[in-house]
Chains A and B, each alone.
Chain A
Amino acid sequence: MDDASLPDGASGRTVAAPTRREVYEAEVRRRSNRIALISTASVVLAIVFLVPLAPGWEAVQRSFFNGRVFAATFPGLLNAFLLNVMIFAWSAPLIAVTGLAIALCRDTRAPALFPLRLFGIAYTDIFRGLPVVLVIYIIGFGVPGLGLPRPWNSPYIWGTLALVLVYSAYVAEVIRSGIDSIHQSQRSAAASLGLSERDTMRFVVLPQAIRNVVPANMNLFIALQKDVALLSFIGPVEVFRQAGVYKSLYANFTPYVGAALIFLVLTIPATRYADYLMNKQNRART
């Protein structure tokens, strides 16, 4: 009876025949897929049919999801987004290097370097304690206010500096947690071979620490990609600012939706990839 689904009369099962368990699991899988499909479809249908019944739907559709405005502004938005990409591209390496340097400052043990350690602590406390936009305002408006000559009054320079200050503080903390996560026995092994503390850090601890925190740092850099838009407050016309310009021009909010789409196309795959790396690492650790 149990073997009803198996090839007839096979006492020794043929190689390809699924086991009882496989048959059962396949059935369970089919059933849960069916249920998931039905429930998703009903939610989507409800949204599609119910939302347009809302009294303000017509107006919302006109001002946020206007196909004509979308087509007219999207190429311009993409073009403006290039500026986001560029700011990101030069900020990211600066942040990585500064973050590493700050992490190492915080980790120094020599008494002569105590001021460095103090500096590292103050740095990470201050810049993690402030809203990004506030740092951008203070530095982006404050420093050029000193009346510096061109090109030193450029908002690109000071905006970038603001991003580097804030994000390197976070990166430093992430790297430091990576350094802490390396087991003491690795340092013992290095010390027992006569390696100096410096070499131990450089060749044994840091390479492992940095590898361990790649996913966490990726999440930071995804956040950075979004926060580049904040520089628009001090001048640069990147995609968010450009969307604002189009909004005024067309008296329509659709450009903002277009800008949002551009961000999502980039950030969703990146977030997925970071999660994938994180899961892979967690699995490797157990």
Chain B
Amino acid sequence: MTAKLSLRGVRKRFGDHEVCKGIDLDVADGEMVCLIGASGSGKSTLLRCMNLLEPIDDGTIWLDGTDISEPGLDPQPVRQQIGIVFQSYNLFPHMTAAENVMLAPRRVYGRSRDVLRPQVERLFSRFGLGDRMDHYPDQLSGGQQQRVAIIRALAMEPQIMLFDEITSALDPELVGEVLDVLRDLRGQGMTMVLATHEMGFARELADKVCFLDAGRILEQGPPDELFSAPREARTKAFLSRVL
């Protein structure tokens, strides 16, 4: 089985501070991989490296067997393949939800609003936002905004979706509606990488869980193994703090 997305020896530094210290990771087609680890361990940076929002300093990233980490490579086609959703939604506040979603397909794929509107309507109703399409972000709850952000990324029809702690900024009662969206995507066979603090969710749905510690993947494996029988002391310590 060849991996959909493959990282080998990925290093990333900010100034003197090395944040990713040689990451090896394989994500198979249709797999859901969860990154867990303390705040500051490098989860966000690793995700941002995967869709080239941050250039890596060393190592290689393959997407479907193609090296996408080649310096100087145009990142735009890669980003169309790998969508990302951020903790802070980052919706465009001056556009309605529907306009947020349609902007990139219009500009990048050259599709017209008329063509897009029905597809976008389907996505909104699928995620329970059928009546919120023409609302502005500040008229939506956090959970609704985050679902719009997910729809916005999905509208580019990516092959892989990255999620960076997308429930961390939400009030507890809104977390469920966003996790349901992830469950739905999982059911559709979307390939996903999540940085998350929702251990219960990771345990329930992940194919693989990776524990990041100070820029290294210290331990990885199926959730049952990693959560019930962690090998490393630091993993044990982390899990005992969060579980």
Write out the residue numbers on chain B whose beta carbons fall within 8 Å of the beta carbon of A207: 94
Interface centre among B91, B94, B152 (most CB of A within 10 A): B94
CA distance A252 to B86 in the complex (A): 69
**How many residues does chain A have at the interface if contact means C-beta atoms less than 8 Å apart?**
17
Q: Say which one of B100-108, B186-194, B229-237 lies at the interface with A.
A: B100-108
Q: Choose among A188, A194, A208, A211 the residue that contacts B104 (Cβ–Cβ < 8 A).
A: A194
CA distance A199 to B108 in the complex (A): 9
Q: Choose among B53, B93, B107, B156 the residue that contacts A203 (Cβ–Cβ < 8 A).
A: B107
The reply to whether the CB of A195 lies closer than 8 angstroms to some CB of chain B is yes
The reply to whether the CB of B77 lies closer than 8 angstroms to some CB of chain A is yes
Which residue on B lies nearest to A211, using beta carbons?
Answer: B94
Known: A186-B92, A189-B86, A192-B84. 4 other contacts (CB 8 A): A193-B103, A193-B104, A194-B80, A207-B94
Give a binary string over B152-170; 1 marks a CB under 8 Å from any A CB, 0 the rest.
Answer: 1100100000000000000
Given known A193-B152, A194-B104, contact A188–B53 (CB-CB < 8 A): yes
Please state if A195 and B90 are interface contacts (CB–CB under 8 Å). no
Please state if B90 and A185 are interface contacts (CB–CB under 8 Å). yes
The reply to whether the CB of B144 lies closer than 8 angstroms to some CB of chain A is no
Interface bracket on B: 20 to 34
Interface centre among A189, A191, A194 (most CB of B within 10 A): A194
The minimal Cβ–Cβ distance linking A229 to chain B, given in whole angstroms, is 37
Please state if B83 and A208 are interface contacts (CB–CB under 8 Å). no
The minimal Cβ–Cβ distance linking A202 to chain B, given in whole angstroms, is 9
23 A-B residue pairings within 8 Å (CB atoms): A186-B92, A188-B48, A188-B86, A189-B86, A189-B90, A190-B92, A191-B75, A192-B51, A192-B79, A192-B83, A192-B153, A193-B79, A193-B104, A193-B108, A193-B153, A194-B104, A194-B156, A195-B107, A195-B108, A204-B92, A208-B92, A208-B93, A208-B94
Q: Tally of A-B residue pairs with Cβ under 8 A?
A: 57
The reply to whether the CB of B76 lies closer than 8 angstroms to some CB of chain A is yes
Taking beta carbons and an 8 Å cutoff, which residues of A are in contact with B? 185-186, 188-196, 199, 203-204, 207-208, 211
Pairs A-B, 10 closest by C-beta atoms: A193-B104, A189-B90, A194-B80, A194-B79, A192-B84, A194-B108, A199-B107, A185-B90, A194-B76, A207-B94
Write out the residue numbers on chain A whose beta carbons fall within 8 Å of the beta carbon of B80: 194
The reply to whether the CB of B88 lies closer than 8 angstroms to some CB of chain A is yes
CA distance A203 to B76 in the complex (A): 17
